[in-house]
Amino acid sequence: MPNSWASTHGNRRRGAALAHWALVGAAFLFGTTFVVVKDAVAKAGPVPFLGVRFLIGAAVVWPFAMRRPAEREPGVVPAGVWCGLVLGAGYIFQTVGLQYVSSSVSAFITYLLVLIVPLLSAVALRRPPGVATVVGVLLAAGGLYLLNGGHPSLGKGELLTLGCAVCFAVHIILLAEFAPKHDSMRLNAAQLTVVGAVCFVPGFFTGGYDFPPSVWLAALYTGVAASAVAFGLMVWAQRRVAPSRTALLLMLEPVFAAIAGALSGDHLGLVGVTGAALILVGILVAEIRRPPVVTIRPYE
């Protein structure tokens, strides 16, 4: 019995560690899309681009999702609809906002969600974050401020992206509730389909689908790497990681976005580099005490 308990406990700890690394991988993939999307929506309408991107992601995920045991998935469609509607609203806000702000500013404002998630968790889910997480969030928020050059403003693009941050925070909270109850592959396939469907028809009236080749390539990359793979990692990981910790780990996204921007000619400078370093310190502080492992279903 002791050996069996130790083995089970060890497996859960390894599962939790893998979940944390999965979120880091998701943050990397998400971060690489800021520059790609900004270039794409300069040549195509943001709503039709999102419709194609998310339908591509759904097409990639559904064949794998259909292999899962459907009889164990009551309620996965309503869960996917709720997640998809909130996620779609967030991406519309963010993608339209990218027409008015730089990719680094967009990343900064998007990740104000790390301040929103703990508040929503405390109020809606009664899961107040620990002291280490609070300190980590504050440090990381200061880092995001510096990453943006210490000069945030609230123009049209900034306000749109602020709406994105609120929607993404709600999405993380919804996943915290739904992901432990449903197969991660089916839930991700459902939410991607909803986002794509919500954007596809309006896309005919907001720019159409006569994309140049570079936009189709951008939709293919973001659809597979971000929508299919990154969201798949995120949904799977949230079966094991608390929402406040999820938000904090995903704050690596603007760091990766800043690196991608620098490689494309948008250099951070000393203040920006200091901000990126402060974000990493905040994540390290929050990782001092890991949250308890979430029980997962045996078929996952």
| DSSP line for 155-178 | SHHHHHHHHHHHHHHHHHHHHHHH
H/E stretch holding 252 reads helix 252-263
pLDDT for residue 297: 30
Q: Residue 289 CB: number of other CB atoms within 10 A? A: 10
Taking a C-beta distance cutoff of 8 angstroms, is the pair 294, 241 a contact? yes
pLDDT for residue 89: 96
Profile the chain (300 residues) by mean pLDDT over runs of 10 residues. Answer: 52 76 90 89 93 94 79 77 95 93 80 76 70 81 76 77 91 84 86 94 92 95 90 82 76 81 73 79 68 34
Q: Is residue 298 part of a domain?
A: no
Q: Is residue 192 part of a domain?
A: yes
Radius of gyration of the chain (CA): 19
pLDDT for residue 154: 66
| Structural tokens at position 77 | 């469609």
In the chain, count H helices and then E strands: 14, 0
Taking a C-beta distance cutoff of 8 angstroms, is the pair 190, 133 a contact? no
pLDDT for residue 175: 84
| Structural tokens at position 238 | 């949230």
Q: 197: domain range?
A: 22-286
Q: Is residue 4 part of a domain?
A: no
- How many domains does the structure of the chain reveal? 1
Q: Is residue 108 part of a domain?
A: yes
pLDDT for residue 90: 96
For 60, residues 6+ apart whose C-beta sits below 8 A from its C-beta are 223, 224, 227, 228
| Structural tokens at position 251 | 């704050």
Q: Is residue 216 part of a domain?
A: yes
AA identity, residue 251: M
pLDDT for residue 18: 87
pLDDT for residue 296: 31
Q: Is residue 168 part of a domain?
A: yes
pLDDT for residue 268: 65
pLDDT for residue 191: 93
Q: Is residue 200 part of a domain?
A: yes
- CA atoms of 5 and 11, how far apart (whole Å): 10
Q: Is residue 8 part of a domain?
A: no
pLDDT for residue 93: 96
Of 195, 198, 206, 216, give the one whose Cα is nearest residue 40.
216
pTM of the model: 0.78
